[in-house]
Structure 1
């Protein structure tokens, strides 16, 4: 029975992420879940910690934040693309969530280092140190596509952990990023949304077990919205690495997420960007 509810929850989360402009009313999501609307909301909140309305609003506004920074879509189109009937209602909701109007957020995004060339410089400086990491075991869900959209995989991961009561085995949220977004088409980028788990945690589909090797990492302690992480990587690879005397290791970089975007303002998010070195 738990698997049945887990499948329904995963189906609804996928539907929300794939249809931000669509009808995401409680009744519609209850239909997607194939469950009575009198009970669905209680089930969703108990399994995710959010109401359906909170989850829909968060996913829609996260999509909007990505499109504001990474595309030149007009604001009215973005508002429509994330299900808001007017620019004014979208602007109010976005400002309440992100602390800036959509236009101001776009302007700040355009001035952020991800859109500057190395020749122009201007990359931000974050603390970097070298640390020895132990081997880690992940329970993970694969994501293929733009890195900025990996939230969909993390949502599914969280739903599975809640459904199977795996959180007592958990030791932190981790993203693994296999490809260089400057060298691989966005739709083909490979990544994993993972949770560090102990050896006693059962890992079964849709989860997959991934082993991270022990080793030395250069760790950048980044604070700020996830949309600024591209700048952190550019500083790390383009400025810090050539001056450090370090050689890169032969496995992909990872990100360790130190707080929760569901209850943390974007500017207060803490992420350790970990690049393997030998």
Structure 2
């Protein structure tokens, strides 16, 4: 069961509302959406204006607020009914959201808590092209943690390539980014800094290999500092992909760097944002 992006969004929203105490992990919601976990979180955030985790928390607390006012179940039971493991964790989350403890909220008798009002996102428009590309072989190192910290790995790769004379055996540099930084704790993010190997080149000693099969690739060329690329991803996943009729393959997006910050002003940097398509 797949369906349009609109169908997937509605299916996930209904699932969250129907199963507040169930498994609402990011991977489970990606399964409900019938979409690759590499892309689902980005699509949801871009289209809905909030992350999956933010919606889950908001819906759980909204349902709790209604149960507190309209029912008589003890606070501990309400906490369990909306997916909180302990009354303490529920109490902290509820007070952070509504400024009152659950008991004080119940005594106040607020009849209804308004749901968040969605507003259409304003997207900056980018040009996206679909290209047929051959297989891509990458040689590099994995980085775990904030994406902002991957620069050190690229610096080390560049130094290694210079010392070993590898530049003539490569076609530049690329990066793979496996998770949405708005959804996952920094310590769980995984990325891969890499050299792009030319055809027929052996894997350099000490480097790990990653790759992408030949196929159709959606390519957005972003001009500007790396720190500003979020708006390009927002457009790619929030506007272009849902409207294109295309389906992203089960592979992480990757970036190809067409020039280098070592000799290029930040505003002139060119980066290809690439999503493999089915």
SS in 1 for 2:121: coil
Partner Cα separation in structure 1 for residue 118 and residue 131 of structure 2: 27
* Cα pair distance change 1:237/1:189, threshold 3 Å: same
Structure 1 segments of 4+ aligned residues over 4 angstroms from their partners = none
Please list every run of 5 or more consecutive structure 2 residues that lacks an aligned counterpart in the other structure: 1-116
Question: Which position in structure 2 is the counterpart of 1:229?
Answer: 229
* Cα pair distance change 1:261/1:119, threshold 3 Å: farther
Q: Deviations over 1:186-226 (max 9, x none)?
A: 12210111111132344221x11222211111111111111
- 1:140 matches 2:152: no
Question: Which position in structure 2 is the counterpart of 1:155?
Answer: 155
Q: How far did residue 178 of structure 1 move?
A: 1.0
Matches within 5 A, 1:108-127: 119-127=119-127
SS in 2 for 1:211: strand
Question: Which position in structure 1 is the counterpart of 2:204?
Answer: 203
Partner Cα separation in structure 2 for residue 119 and residue 139 of structure 1: 42
The two structures have a TM-score, normalised by structure 1, of 0.55
Matches within 5 A, 1:209-248: 209-248=209-248
The two structures have a TM-score, normalised by structure 2, of 0.55
Larger radius of gyration: 2
Q: Deviations over 1:117-148 (max 9, x none)?
A: 98352222111010111102111111111112
* Cα pair distance change 1:185/1:118, threshold 3 Å: farther
- 1:263 matches 2:263: yes
Larger CA deviation: 246-255 vs 140-149? 140-149
**Contact 1:118-1:238 within 8 A present in 2 as well:** no
Matches within 5 A, 1:98-117: none
SS in 1 for 2:262: coil
**Contact 2:172-2:257 within 8 A present in 1 as well:** yes
- CA RMSD between the two structures: 1.7
Question: Which position in structure 2 is the counterpart of 1:130?
Answer: 130
Question: Which position in structure 2 is the counterpart of 1:102?
Answer: none
Partner Cα separation in structure 2 for residue 150 and residue 277 of structure 1: 26
**Contact 1:143-1:153 within 8 A present in 2 as well:** yes
Question: Which position in structure 2 is the counterpart of 1:114?
Answer: none
Q: Deviations over 1:5-43 (max 9, x none)?
A: xxxxxxxxxxxxxxxxxxxxxxxxxxxxxxxxxxxxxxx
Q: Deviations over 1:225-278 (max 9, x none)?
A: 111111111111111111111011111101011011111111111011001111
Question: Which position in structure 2 is the counterpart of 1:168?
Answer: 168
**Contact 1:174-1:254 within 8 A present in 2 as well:** yes
Partner Cα separation in structure 2 for residue 264 and residue 120 of structure 1: 35
Query: How many residues get paired?
Result: 161
**Contact 1:166-1:201 within 8 A present in 2 as well:** no
**Contact 2:203-2:209 within 8 A present in 1 as well:** no
Q: How far did residue 180 of structure 1 move?
A: 1.6
SS in 2 for 1:168: helix
